[in-house]
Structures are given as C-alpha cells and as structure tokens.
Amino acid sequence: MAAATNFSHSPFISKTLTHSLNHNPFPKNPTLPFKLSKSYSLKAAISQQNPATATTQKTTQFKHCFTKSQDGFLYCENVKVQEIMESVEKRPFYLYSKPQITRNVEAYKDALEGLRSIIGYAIKANNNLKILEHLRGLGCGAVLVSGNELRLALRAGFDPTRCIFNGNGKLLDDLVLAAQEGVFVNVDSEFDLENIVAAARIAGKKVNVLLRINPDVDPQVHPYVATGNKNSKFGIRNEKLQWFLDAVKAHPNELKLVGAHCHLGSTITKVDIFRDAAALMVNYIDEIRAQGFEVDYLNIGGGLGIDYYHSGAVLPTPRDLIDTVRELVLSRDLNLIIEPGRSLIANTCCLVNRVTGVKTNGTKNFVVIDGSMAELIRPSLYDAYQHIELVSPALPSAEVSTFDVVGPVCESADFLGKDRELPTPAKGAGLVVHDAGAYCMSMASTYNLKMRPPEYWVEDGGSVSKIRQGETFEDHIRFFEGL
Ligand SMILES: Cc1ncc(COP(=O)(O)O)c(C=O)c1O
Ligand SMILES: N[C@@H](CCCC[NH3+])C(=O)O
C-alpha cells in the first residue's frame, strides 16, 4: 500500500497517496574458429527484408509528460509540480508519471503486434517495486543482472519464464535460483557455461540458455554504454561459437539451447545498427539450427536513446526499431526478445530539487541545489546532458544568466548541468532535472551521507502517491546496531 500523505490543500491531489566441477567435462580448444557453412554476407542478409512491409514512422518519440503551462508552471500530467513540492518532505525527490509508463509500454506492445515476443524490462534502469509491479501488470517480462534483481522480479510477480538472466559475472547461487525458477539464462563465457551446468545439477532442472554472441557492431554511443563491440567484456566471440555448441551438446541433461542473444549498447539513435546486428544474428541462428538445435528465440538487446536535450529531435520510435527487424524475425519464425530499460522509464520522471542559493566565483555563476551527483550521477559519470528547468515562473526582475547547476557534495564533479541559461532563481525555488527515470535512482548513492530520496508518482486521474520511502540518517545508523 502506498503511504498516505496529506495533500489536502491541492485541488489536483487526492488525500490518499496512496555451487565447482572438479573435472572439466567441456570440449577443449575454446578458440576453435567457428565456420559458417554457408557463404555469408551482411548485405545479403539485410536484403531479405521487405522494405514494403516496414512501416517505419519517423515521428518524435516518447512525448514528454512534464509540460509547462503558458503562465510558466511545470505540470506532471495535470498536477502542478510546485504544489507537490509544497506538500512533501523538504528534500530532493523523484516524481514519476504512472500514465507515461503505461504509454511507453503500449508503444512497444503496438509495435510488436504480429510477432511472438517478450518485452524484457531491464530492471537495472529502475528497480522501484511499485514500478516493477506496474510493468509486470502491463505484460512485461524482466531482464536481470543479479540474484537480487531476480528476487525482486519474483517479488513483483513477474513470470520467471518471461525473465532473462544476463551478465558476465553471474554467481553460482544466483544461477541455482534462476535454474529453480525456470528463468532463461544467457551464456556469456566458458566459465559462465560451467557454472550454469553446475547450477542445473544442483537445482535438478534443465536450464533454457541463449548464447550471448558479441556481434562486434559499433552502436555509436558513449564508450561506457557500448556493450557489443570487440573490446567489450560482454558475450562470446563468434570464433568460439562452435566450442559453445559442442559444450551444450555435451550436457543434454543440464542445458537446452533455445536461442541467441546480443546486446549492442544503450542510447542508440540509429535503427540501422539494430538491423545490422539482427542480420548477423539470424545467420548465426541458421548455422546453429543446421547443427540440429531447435532454437526459437532471438534476443536483440540494445536500448533506444531518448530526447535528453528536449530539442524535438526526430529519434527512432519502438515501431521504427521493431519494423527494422520484423521481416528477419518472421523469416526464421522466431520469438523476439527485446530488453528496453531507458526507453520505457527515463522520460517518465524528474528529480525535483530546491535552490539553496546562487553564487558567482567571478568567472562562473552557480545555482546550488539540494540534489546532487549522489541522487543523479549521469552528468558526472558520462558528462551526460539532462534538461533542467524551474518549476515556477521566475520573478519578472530575475536576470537570465548562464549557470552551472551544482549540488552540495564535496566533489568538483558534482554537477547536474553545465552552462545552462536560466532566470536567476530565488532561494527555495523548485528546479527539476528531466528524464531521470532510468539509471538515476538505481545508481544513486549515499555519498556525503546524502540519503537516497523518496519517490512519488502521479497516478491516472491525478492523485499523487509515495512509491518509495526516502532513506534517513537512522537507516544508516541501523547498519552498526549490535556490532
Ligand atoms: C544486457 C542489457 N540489457 C538491457 C539493457 C537496457 O538498455 P537500455 O536501458 O538502453 O534500454 C542494458 C543496458 O545497456 C544491457 O546491458
Ligand atoms: N548507466 C548507463 C546505462 C548503462 C546501461 C547498462 N548496460 C546510463 O546511465 O546511461
């Protein structure tokens, strides 16, 4: 149940916020080159697509659910953010739009019509339990990278047979849980395969596995969020594929090979990149099938970018992405698994902050806010841009200047935005960092003992509920009790 918070003075807000193998049973020579029996060309594979059936729509994707009224107030759906600020604890908080989460999922579901598919929501993007329950209710599966993400997915009610366990360092105990629950497991390396076999034996269950093949496709994104190029720590090189196929064949009681997986990277803004990868992957699937494996799943991971700049840029939509791979998937009668995180959740949320004060050092102006790199690290970590604006109109006398928007954390990397043109805000003014739904709260820390913030969402109909308690100083002290 959502915690009850009194928003009685707001006309918009309702009162109810509402296990090791001693011998090595695996085939030797893991670097044996994998040879494709058919001559293979990427161009030819791509041309199997029928451009006439690809209904690519170039539309501005993922509309913003935070809008400014003509009189300069920021709204989340139909609720004034200023009013929410006045009604909740005085600290930074995350504010989500539940209807926008629904709209984002529906966009993927519409795009996937006519295909057998699983939308595997990447829990690492945002692990709020209420949000997970909502995504599960909308029909999503889940993509997991740790045992705790798996436990949380189970707690949120996700069907384990629609969950996929990824990762280059999966632990044996977590793999045992995955095997017990019937979760798909992506094989990332020789040692990972050994562990999956061991887990299957402990659980007494055969594990459905996909091979995570590194397609060596450049996703044209920040190097820290590229996952499918040749220097990546993730996945297996195609030269080693035959070794993995032989290893699976050697373990018929433990492993069932059901598909192939690749993941290209995150913030991808060109769908051609997905088409190139899908073309490579269906050729691998052809070759795997030619060896007698009944593989049915193509898991093409790689996340769409969003309009972080709020520039109105035309970026690929879920439909653009799915249409790009549709014919390839249909031509092999495959189930398609996708693994979106950011594009499902990023644009549904703002980090709401208060201005502590404004200062200048003679060369730069600073707006100092109560939020920081502790709550939202993407600008510090990737030099990422996230749009910033005030929640209410500034005084008519407020001078417009260029500011760095910084937090109170004792690090020069503690900035939320650099060189932003803003009307000089008053002390206490509300200031939001947009598109904070993905990789913000889930990457938040308690550095400088800034405790992780509470989270709220605006529900369908406009009521506002707390969906996560903010951490407190007492929570920190509790770690030391009884020691
Ligand atoms: C294996 C895997 N799946 C899913 C995702 C989610 O990607 P995104 O948030 O870009 O949609 C990631 C993140 O890059 C990933 O590494
Ligand atoms: N944490 C990254 C995305 C990483 C995706 C995981 N492979 C971000 O904030 O954009």
Q: What is the pLDDT of residue 56?
A: 36
**Beta-bridge partners for 412:** none
CB of 167 sitting under 6 A from ligand 1: no
CB of 342 sitting under 6 A from ligand 1: yes
- Nearest ligand to the CA of 123 is 1
Query: Ligand 1: which of 217, 308, 339, 435 to mutate, most ligand atoms within 8 Å of CB?
Result: 339
Asked if 371 and 349 count as a contact pair (C-beta separation under 8 A), the reply is: no
Q: What is the pLDDT of residue 62?
A: 53
Closest atom of ligand 1 to CA, residue 145:
1
How far apart are the CA of 333 and the centre of ligand 2, in A? 31
CB of 303 sitting under 6 A from ligand 1: yes
- Specify the DSSP class assigned to residue 469: P
Stated length of the chain: 483
- Specify the DSSP class assigned to residue 420: E
Six token digits for residue 88? 């909740």
C-beta pairs of 241-244 under 8 Å, 24+ apart in sequence: 241/34, 241/211, 241/213, 241/284, 241/287, 241/288, 242/32, 242/33, 242/34, 242/35, 243/26, 243/27, 243/29, 243/30, 243/31, 243/32, 243/34, 243/190, 244/187, 244/193, 244/211
CA pair distance 207, 242, nearest whole angstrom: 19
CA pair distance 246, 397, nearest whole angstrom: 74
Q: What is the pLDDT of residue 64?
A: 76
Q: What is the pLDDT of residue 480?
A: 98
Closest atom of ligand 2 to CA, residue 227:
7
How far apart are the CA of 120 and the centre of ligand 1, in A? 10
How far apart are the CA of 270 and the centre of ligand 2, in A? 17
CB of 261 sitting under 6 A from ligand 1: no
Closest atom of ligand 1 to CA, residue 344:
11
Structural Rg of the chain based on CA atoms: 24
Burial of 444 per CB tally in 10 Å (0-12, 13-18, 19+)? buried
The predicted-structure confidence for 178-225, as pLDDT tens digits, reads as follows 999 999 999 999 999 999 999 999 999 999 999 999 988 888 898 899
The predicted-structure confidence for 38-72, as pLDDT tens digits, reads as follows 333 333 332 222 222 233 333 444 567 999 999 99
Closest atom of ligand 1 to CA, residue 343:
11
Q: What are phi and psi of 206, to 5 degrees?
A: -75, 140
pTM score, whole prediction: 0.88
Catalytic residue flag (residue 140): no
Instruction: Look up the ipTM and state it.
Output: 0.98
How far apart are the CA of 353 and the centre of ligand 2, in A? 23
How far apart are the CA of 266 and the centre of ligand 2, in A? 6
CB of 301 sitting under 6 A from ligand 1: yes
The CATH classification number of 349-480 equals 2.40.37.10
- Residues of the chain within CATH 2.40.37.10 domain(s) are 349-480
Q: Whose CA is nearest to atom 7 of ligand 2?
A: 225
Closest atom of ligand 1 to CA, residue 340:
11
The distance between the two most distant Cα atoms of the chain, rounded to a whole number of Å, is: 77
Low-confidence stretches of the chain (pLDDT < 70) are 1-63
How far apart are the CA of 384 and the centre of ligand 2, in A? 11
Phi/psi-derived region of residue 462, left when phi > 0, alpha when psi is between -120 and 50, beta in every other case: left
CATH topology of domain 114-344: TIM Barrel (3.20.20)
- Residues of the chain within CATH 3.20.20.10 domain(s) are 114-344
